[in-house]
Amino acid sequence: MRILQLVFTIWLAGASLCTPAAAAEDRQQLRAPVMLANVYHPGIALAEYWVSEKYDGMRAYWDGQQLLTRGGERIHPPAWFIAGWPQTPLDGELWTGRGQFSATVAIARRQNPDDAAWRKMRYMVFDLPAHGGTFDQRLLTLESTVRAMDLSWVQAVRQSRVGDHPSLQKMLAAITKEGGEGLMLHRGASLYRAERNDDLLKLKLHDDAEAQVLAHVPGKGKHQGRLGALLVETAAGQRFKLGSGFSDAERAAPPPVGSWVTYRYRGWNDSGIPRFASFLRVRADMSGAPR
């Protein structure tokens, strides 16, 4: 009888470790400790910031041994892609070119890497999470680290100073016209902290944000029998319906419940709901909290 009780106790302990709550906790612990960006706003001291292009790729965190998404999922590149990488962590973006977000994510999410597809991939490095110094100091070390790697597909993101806000807007217009997504602004005196604050800012011609799909709302009228809208929730807990911006194919096969989507909007109404929200794309590179 004592043996049976012992076996039951061991089984019960193992079962408790496999509960959804425990699994969620494990995923939380795996989440890459990345720095997150606020949206650019007037009034910042522009002279304190470095400015770079915002690459429309997939955030990838090198922990010294493997590449991870910001949600903590392992990325499986070919062995040659990460051969010779340093043991120190790197923060960057997997990128195959402007306007190629979907293609980049499709390549990066394959469990069995497509060697030919990865030949098109670049790793755009923009920070050194474990350095300990300010961004001004990290930037110098980052550039020397990438030079020492001497790999054509690993590049340090070009950083520059912008003298005034009209020049910043002019730079944004030029990059957007060439197919770029926008700009990133990084405070030179900032330390690397895995949180969202004004040390890192993003600037685009159109505001956008992420939300998680909670449910599919059936369509009516011309959308009878397919998606009418998505019920979504932001990371702050704000819920609203996202009903525009979908193609016929996306309404027929909508983003699954639990996935994250990016939407465009124009400010907020009095209740905090984004105004004129429109579906932009699925964020297939996300799990957990948004960037």
54 an active-site residue?
A: yes
Asked if residues 213 and 231 have their Cβ atoms less than 8 Å apart, the reply is: yes
Using alpha carbons, list the distances in angstroms from residue 237 to 87, 166, 280.
37, 35, 20
How far apart CA 197 and CA 100 sit, in angstroms, is: 28
Active-site residue (options: 54, 177, 202, 204): 54
> In which region does residue 82 sit, left (phi positive, over 0), alpha (psi from -120 to 50) or beta (all else)?
alpha
How far apart CA 50 and CA 185 sit, in angstroms, is: 6
Which residues are marked as active site? 54
